Structure 1
Amino acid sequence: MGTNRSRRAFLASSGGIGAATIAGCTNVPGTDSEEHVESGSGTIVSQHHLATEAGLEVLEEGGTAADAAIAVACALSVVEPWFSSALGGGTWALYYDADDEEVTSVDGVGPVGSDATVEDFEERAEEDGMHQAVVPGAWDGWMLWLEEYGALDLEEVLSPATTLAREGYPVSEEMANWLEDESGPIEDRPNAAEIYMPDGDLLAEDETVSQEAMAETFESLVDAYDDERDEGRSEAVQAARDYFYRGPIAEEIVAFSEEHDGYLTDEDFETFEAELVDPISIEYDEEIDVYQNPPNSQGITQLLALAILREYDLSDLEPDDADAVHLQAEAIKLAFADRYHHVGDPERVDVPVDELLDEEYAADQGDRIDTDEAMEWPIDSELEDTNASASSSTASVGDADHTTTFHVVDEEGNAAAVTTSLGAQFLVVGETGIHINNRMRMLALEDENPNQVTPGYKVRHTSNPYLALRDGDPYILGGNTGVDTQPQGQTQQFLNVVEFGLDAQDAISHPRFVSTAFPATDVPYDAENTLEIESSYPSDVLDDLEDRGHDVVDAPSVGTATMLVLEDGDAPQIGAEPRITTADGDALSDSE
Structure 2
Amino acid sequence: MLLLALVAIASSRLLVAPTSQAEEFRRHVVVSQEEHASDVGRDVLRQGGNAIDAAVATAFALAVTHPAAGNLGGGGFIVAFLADRGEVVTFDFRERAPLASTERMYLDDEGKFLPRHRAGLRAGGVPGTVKGLGLAHERFGTLPWADLVLPAVALARDGFPVSNTLARSLNSQLFDDDGASDALDGSGRGARLADFPASVRAFRKPDGTPWQAGDILRQPDLADTLSRIAEHGPDEFYGGRTAELIVAAMQAEGGLISREDLESYRAVQRPPVHATFRGYDVYGMGPPSSGGIVVLLALNILERYDLAADGPESAETLHRITEAMRRAFFVRATRIADPDFIDVPADVLTSQSFADDLAASIGPKATPSQDLADFPIAGLAEGSDTTHLSVVDGSGNAVALTYTLEQGYGSKAVVAGTGFLLNNEMGDFNLVPGVTSASGLIGTPPNRIAPGKRMLSSMSPTIVLEDGRVRLVTGSPGGRTIPNTVLWVVLNVLEFGRSPREAVDALRTHHAWFPDVITLEGRRWPEETTRELRDRGHRLRSTELQGDAHTIIVDPVTGLLHGVNDRRRHTSRASGD
TM-score, with structure 1 as normaliser? 0.86
> How is 1:221-236 mapped onto 2 (pairs within 5 angstroms)?
221-224=229-232
Q: 1:550 maps to which residue?
A: 538
Output the amino acid matched with 1:444: N
Per-residue deviation at 1:547? 1.8
Cα distance per residue 1:335-368 (max 9 Å; x no partner): 0000001111111112122222221221121121
Q: 1:442 maps to which residue?
A: 428
Structure 2: gaps (5+ residues): 1-8, 175-182, 184-191, 435-443
Output the amino acid matched with 2:170: L
2:96 is aligned, of 93, 96, 111, to: 111
What SS is found at the alignment partner of 2:370?
Answer: coil
Give distance in 1, aligned partners of 2:559 and 2:202. Answer: 44
Give distance in 2, aligned partners of 1:163 and 1:427. Answer: 23
> How is 1:201-216 mapped onto 2 (pairs within 5 angstroms)?
201-216=209-224
Per-residue deviation at 1:262? 1.6
1:245 is aligned, of 238, 259, 262, to: 238
Cα distance per residue 1:14-42 (max 9 Å; x no partner): xxxxxxxx99433324x554432413211
> How is 1:563-574 mapped onto 2 (pairs within 5 angstroms)?
563-568=551-556, 569-574=558-563
Identity %: 30
Range with greater deviation from structure 2 (270-279 or 151-160): 151-160
Give distance in 1, aligned partners of 2:343 and 2:382. Answer: 28
Contact 1:245 1:270 in 2 (8 A): yes
Q: 1:536 maps to which residue?
A: 524
> How is 1:6-405 mapped onto 2 (pairs within 5 angstroms)?
24-29=11-16, 31-85=17-71, 87-123=72-108, 125-127=114-116, 128-183=119-174, 184=183, 185-198=192-205, 199-224=207-232, 240-285=233-278, 287-299=279-291, 300-371=293-364, 373-380=365-372, 390-393=375-378, 397=381, 401-405=384-388
- Structure 1 residues 473, 177: CA separation in 2 closer, same or farther (over 3 Å shift)? same
Contact 2:273 2:347 in 1 (8 A): no
Give distance in 1, aligned partners of 2:194 and 2:21. Answer: 44
Answer yes or no: is 1:583 the counterpart of 2:562: no
Q: 2:449 maps to which residue?
A: 453
What SS is found at the alignment partner of 2:403?
Answer: strand
Output the amino acid matched with 1:196: F
Per-residue deviation at 1:302? 0.9
Q: 2:392 maps to which residue?
A: 409
What SS is found at the alignment partner of 1:586?
Answer: strand
Output the amino acid matched with 1:188: D
Per-residue deviation at 1:379? 4.5
Q: 2:439 maps to which residue?
A: none
What SS is found at the alignment partner of 1:45?
Answer: strand
Give distance in 2, aligned partners of 1:75 and 1:26. Answer: 35
The aligned length equals 531
Range with greater deviation from structure 2 (259-268 or 192-201): 192-201
TM-score, with structure 2 as normaliser? 0.88
Output the amino acid matched with 2:289: S
1:504 is aligned, of 492, 500, 504, to: 500
What SS is found at the alignment partner of 2:308?
Answer: helix
| Large movers: runs of 4+ above 4 Å | 396-399
Give distance in 2, aligned partners of 1:530 and 1:103. Answer: 33
Output the amino acid matched with 1:110: E
Give distance in 2, aligned partners of 1:337 and 1:441. Answer: 19
Contact 1:97 1:414 in 2 (8 A): yes
Contact 1:172 1:582 in 2 (8 A): yes
Give distance in 2, aligned partners of 1:580 and 1:435. Answer: 22
Give distance in 1, aligned partners of 2:428 and 2:200. Answer: 26
Give distance in 2, aligned partners of 1:361 and 1:442. Answer: 27
Per-residue deviation at 1:270? 1.0
Give distance in 2, aligned partners of 1:190 and 1:310. Answer: 53
What SS is found at the alignment partner of 1:417?
Answer: strand
Range with greater deviation from structure 2 (553-562 or 70-79): 553-562
> How is 1:519-534 mapped onto 2 (pairs within 5 angstroms)?
527=515, 529-534=517-522
Per-residue deviation at 1:139? 0.8
Output the amino acid matched with 1:581: H
- Structure 1 residues 528, 208: CA separation in 2 closer, same or farther (over 3 Å shift)? farther
1:422 is aligned, of 392, 395, 405, to: 405
Q: 1:19 maps to which residue?
A: none
Cα distance per residue 1:231-253 (max 9 Å; x no partner): xxxxxxxxx13211122212211
Per-residue deviation at 1:392? 2.8
Output the amino acid matched with 1:561: A
Per-residue deviation at 1:528? 5.1
Answer yes or no: is 1:484 the counterpart of 2:480: yes
Cα distance per residue 1:197-237 (max 9 Å; x no partner): 2323342444322222111111111221xxxxxxxxxxxxx
Per-residue deviation at 1:557? 3.9
- Structure 1 residues 263, 410: CA separation in 2 closer, same or farther (over 3 Å shift)? same
Give distance in 2, aligned partners of 1:368 and 1:268. Answer: 45
Per-residue deviation at 1:454? 0.6
Cα distance per residue 1:488-542 (max 9 Å; x no partner): 0111110000010012221110011122432xxxxxxxx3534343213223222
2:465 is aligned, of 458, 465, 469, to: 469
Give distance in 1, aligned partners of 2:352 and 2:341. Answer: 26
Per-residue deviation at 1:430? 0.8
Contact 1:65 1:415 in 2 (8 A): yes
Give distance in 2, aligned partners of 1:431 and 1:379. Answer: 52
Contact 1:317 1:500 in 2 (8 A): no
Answer yes or no: is 1:431 the counterpart of 2:417: yes
Cα distance per residue 1:308-328 (max 9 Å; x no partner): 011112221322222222211
Range with greater deviation from structure 2 (469-478 or 539-548): 539-548
Output the amino acid matched with 1:470: E
Give distance in 2, aligned partners of 1:398 and 1:114. Answer: 22
The RMSD of aligned alpha carbons is 2.1
Per-residue deviation at 1:552? 1.3
Give distance in 2, aligned partners of 1:255 and 1:528. Answer: 44
Give distance in 2, aligned partners of 1:25 and 1:578. Answer: 17
- Structure 1 residues 553, 510: CA separation in 2 closer, same or farther (over 3 Å shift)? same
- Structure 1 residues 552, 154: CA separation in 2 closer, same or farther (over 3 Å shift)? same
Give distance in 2, aligned partners of 1:482 and 1:122. Answer: 26
Give distance in 2, aligned partners of 1:397 and 1:140. Answer: 27
